[in-house]
Every structure is written in structure tokens, then in C-alpha cells.
């Protein structure tokens, strides 16, 4: 578990939800040989509102846990007096900075989390999707490049200068990515693979076959990498149908995965998320939210939350409160909060297309 000690120096603020960049602090729960994360305190929830494609109306809404209310619906625009851009795909946190990936503006917007002032903009990315920081000096962003090409890429960003230093070819349509130790795991959503990159050398170590359409990834307290695969659309020839989604597990250092298939082909699982103690997984599926412990042998058949159809999913690492983002992309969309038992708490209104949550 050397990998964890390198990460243990990082602050205990973590991001969950879409980006799933994990920064871990050591703790020693009873009877657990692995160092788990320290308990964290979160005060604010940043809701990533994707916005409508082509209309540059993406923004971040700030929800205060203290007042249980949205303090600022359009946080970026109101602070910086300019729109955030077109299609906010995700947001990740490193130290006291937020990294917002603005997909159809081809940029990474770096903001201070204290006042949300724009600190830097990494421009000329190629349809960027997700960001993760491996250290205070180095970050990675996945880029689709083009929907017609076979290869997407991961660009390496120097977080001191906010410049792209190099780009690494990966699989088709790379989505979420996670750093475990000195390895970066990149889900290739257009394929059925995960690319493994050495974060010291930035060289591809290998490719792991998972299920069709890997879309989200988290690391658990044991350093294992969990990949959720959406399945893919099959034309038969009509009506449209899906191949079954699946959940894969990768043991660090190995270039193989064990994959468990989802029971139904009527829905695509998505939004793999993990709790604060990094031992309970959550994902959206069949219109609900499902959960399973990292040591459970079988996939759950009953949902934790039945209703939903959530576009974005987040779990507060402090208390396990579940945040589900409903996206109509038409009206001002809503976020519903649930206790960790699945009982609904309340809801609040944000902007169009809440696709993820950052707890800080």
C-alpha cells in the first residue's frame, strides 16, 4: 500500500461524483489492515450544470450544507462577469483549486474555491471530458478529440504553469479517469478497455479489457479500481436496444479485470460513485440508484432508491447523503437529496443538466 502513503500527504478534501478523483488520507478502522481515508468535513456542494449544447449556459451552482439552500445558482458567471462556457462536463478539486472541464468550449477553467475567481484557463483542448490531479504539479484530462477517430487522448497538464506538456493516445472516447499510486486508469468509453498509464513516465503500461462502454471509475480503500460499463447500443435493426452493462474490478498492478454482468439490457448503468470510507459503491441503473459493498459477491437486484432516473449522482463523503441530479435540459432542473438509507430528504433547483457534484 505504498501507493496510498504517497497520496496521504494530500488534503482531505475530496471530490466524488462525476470526476471521481480521489485523494486519500490514512486512518485505521478496526480490523482493517488497509489504511482507509480519514473522516472529512464538507461544507459546500458544487453542482455542475452541464447546460444546453451550443448555448454557452453551463455554470456551477453553490449549495450550502449549513443553510440547506442554493446560495448562488450561477456561481461562475456572477463572480467572473462572463459565462463559464458551453457544456460543463465535470469538475475536480486539487488543493484549493477547482478544475472545470468545459467540453464544447475546449477548455479547462481553473478557479479558486474560496471565491470562485478564474485563475487560469487551459485552452485549445480537444473536446475535453474529465480531469484528475495526480499531484499538486501534474494533472490529466481526457479528450475525445473527434467522434470519428479511433483514438482519443489524455493530455498532461503542468498545474504550476497550466500548460499542456504532452498528449498520450488512448482508446476511443476516453471518459473518467482515476489515479491509484503511480498509475492512471482511463476508461475508453467507445471501446471496452481501460488504458493504464504510468504517472511517473507518462507512458502507457497496458490496456485492460473490461465490458462494453466503460463510463465511470473509482478506487476503493484497498486500491482496487472499479469500472462501470454502460453496455452499447445495438440496432436490431429497430427499435434501439442495448447490450448488457457490467461492473469490472481491477487489482492494482494487474492488467486483467474481473467483470460481472448486469441483469437487464433495458438500461445503461452509469455514474459509479463511492462513499467517504471508500467501501460502498453507488450507481444509477434502471431508473434508480443501486449500491453494493466492495466485498459483496453479487450485484444488487433491488435498488436503494427506486425513483430518479438521475443524470448526475454524488455521495457526500462526510455523511453519505446521496445527491441525485434530474436533467430535463428544458426547465430549471432539480437535485434531490436522500439519506444514506435511501429516504428522500429534500430537493433544490439548479440550472439545466446537473451532471455531477463536488463536496468541499
Partner 1 sequence: MVLQTLLPGRLAAQFALLGGFGLLAGAVRPAAAQAPADTLRSQQLPAVRVSGLRPTHFAVGSRQLVLDSLALNNYRNGTLADALGARTAIYLKNYGPGQLSSISLRGTSARHTAVLWNGFNINLPSLGEADFALLPVNGTTQVEVQPGPAGATYGNGAVGGTVQLSAAANSPADWGRGWHGTVQGDYGSFGLGAGVATAGFSNQKIALRTSFNYRRANNDFPFYVGEGRGRVQQRQENAAFRQASFSQDATLRLGQRGELSIAVWLTDADRQIQPGIGTNNTNAQERDQSRRLTAGYRRVSTRREWAVRTAWFEDVINYRDDASGLSESTVRTSQAQAEHTWRLAPNASVRLGGEAQHFAAQVDGYGAAPRTENRYSGFLLLRYDPRPRLQLSLNLRQAVLPGRQPPLTPTAGAEWLALAAGRHALSLKGNASRSYRAPTLNERYWRPGGNPDLLPEESFGYEGGLAHTFKTTGLTLQNELTGYRQLVDNWVQWTPGASYWSPRNLRQVRAQGLEASSTLGWQPGAYRLTARGSYAFTSTEKTQGTAVDADPVGRQLPFVPRHTVALSTDNAWRGWQLGTTLTYTGHRYTDASATDFLPGYLLLNASVGRTLALAPTWQLLVLAQGFNLTDNNYQNYQNRALPGRNASFSLRLLWR
Interacting residues with partner 1 (CB under 8 A): 52, 54-57, 81-83, 85-86, 104-106, 127, 144, 146-148, 230, 233, 235, 237-240, 242, 267-268, 270, 284, 287, 309, 311, 326-334, 349, 351-352
CB 325 within 8 A of CB 310: yes
11-15, Cβ contacts within 8 angstroms, sequence gap of 24 or more: 11/95, 12/37, 12/38, 12/40, 13/40, 13/42, 13/93, 13/360, 14/40, 14/93, 14/276, 14/317, 14/359, 15/91, 15/92, 15/93, 15/358, 15/359, 15/360
Name the minimum Å distance from CB 187 to partner 1.
16
Residue 179 or residue 322: which is nearer to partner 1 going by CB?
322
Choice between 85 and 181, CB closer to partner 1: 85
Q: What's the Cα-to-Cα distance from 309 to each of 271, 324, 328, rounded to whole Å?
A: 11, 9, 10
In the complex, minimum distance from the CB of residue 261 to partner 1, in angstroms, rounded to a whole number: 17
| Residue with smaller CB distance to partner 1, 192 or 230 | 230
Distance in Å, CB of 52 to partner 1, minimum: 8
Smallest gap, in angstroms, from Cβ of residue 85 to partner 1? 5
How many Å is the Cα radius of gyration of the chain? 19
**Phi and psi at residue 78, to the nearest 5°:** -75, -30
Q: Which is nearer to partner 1, 49 or 275 (CB)?
A: 49
CB closer to partner 1 out of 233 and 345: 233
CB of 217 to partner 1, least distance (A): 18
- C-beta closer to partner 1: residue 55 or 306: 55
Q: Give dist(CA 131, CA 139) in Å, integer.
A: 7
Q: How far is the CB of 41 from partner 1 (least distance, A)?
A: 32
Give the separation between CA 335 and CA 339, rounded to whole angstroms.
14
Amino acid at each position: 500500500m505504498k501507493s496510498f502513503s504517497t497520496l496521504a500527504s494530500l488534503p482531505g478534501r475530496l471530490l466524488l461524483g462525476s470526476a471521481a478523483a480521489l485523494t486519500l488520507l490514512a486512518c485505521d478502522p478496526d480490523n482493517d489492515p488497509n489504511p482507509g481515508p480519514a473522516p472529512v468535513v464538507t461544507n459546500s456542494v458544487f453542482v455542475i450544470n452541464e447546460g444546453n449544447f451550443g448555448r454557452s449556459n453551463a455554470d456551477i451552482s453553490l449549495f450550502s450544507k449549513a443553510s440547506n439552500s442554493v446560495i448562488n445558482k450561477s456561481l461562475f458567471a456572477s463572480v467572473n462577469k462572463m459565462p463559464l462556457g458551453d457544456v460543463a462536463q465535470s469538475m475536480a478539486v486539487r488543493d484549493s483549486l477547482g478544475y472545470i472541464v468545459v467540453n464544447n468550449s475546449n477548455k479547462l477553467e481553473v478557479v479558486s474555491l474560496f471565491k470562485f475567481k478564474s485563475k487560469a484557463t487551459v485552452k485549445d483542448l480537444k473536446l475535453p471530458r474529465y480531469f484528475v490531479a495526480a499531484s499538486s504539479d501534474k494533472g490529466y484530462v481526457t479528450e475525445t478529440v473527434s467522434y470519428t477517430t479511433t483514438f482519443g487522448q489524455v493530455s498532461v497538464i503542468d498545474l504550476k504553469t497550466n500548460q499542456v506538456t504532452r498528449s498520450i493516445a488512448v482508446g476511443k472516447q476516453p471518459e473518467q479517469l482515476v489515479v491509484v499510486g503511480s498509475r492512471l486508469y482511463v476508461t475508453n468509453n467507445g471501446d471496452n478497455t481501460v488504458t493504464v498509464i504510468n504517472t511517473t513516465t507518462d507512458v502507457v503500461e497496458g490496456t485492460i479489457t473490461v465490458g462494453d462502454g466503460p463510463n465511470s471509475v473509482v478506487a476503493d480503500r484497498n486500491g482496487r479500481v472499479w469500472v462501470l460499463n454502460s453496455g452499447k447500443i445495438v440496432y436490431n435493426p429497430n427499435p434501439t436496444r442495448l447490450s448488457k452493462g457490467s461492473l469490472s474490478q481491477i487489482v492494482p498492478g494487474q492488467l486483467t479485470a474481473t467483470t460481472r454482468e448486469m441483469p437487464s439490457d433495458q438500461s445503461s448503468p452509469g455514474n459509479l460513485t463511492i462513499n467517504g470510507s471508500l467501501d460502498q459503491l453507488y450507481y444509477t441503473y434502471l431508473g434508480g440508484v443501486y449500491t453494493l459493498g466492495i466485498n459483496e459477491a453479487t450485484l444488487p437486484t433491488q435498488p436503494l432508491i427506486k425513483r430518479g432516473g438521475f443524470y448526475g449522482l454524488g455521495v457526500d463523503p462526510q455523511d453519505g447523503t446521496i445527491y441525485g441530479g434530474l436533467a430535463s435540459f428544458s426547465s430549471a432542473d432539480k437535485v434531490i437529496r436522500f439519506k444514506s438509507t435511501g429516504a428522500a430528504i429534500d430537493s433544490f433547483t439548479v440550472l439545466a443538466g446537473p451532471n455531477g457534484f463536488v463536496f468541499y
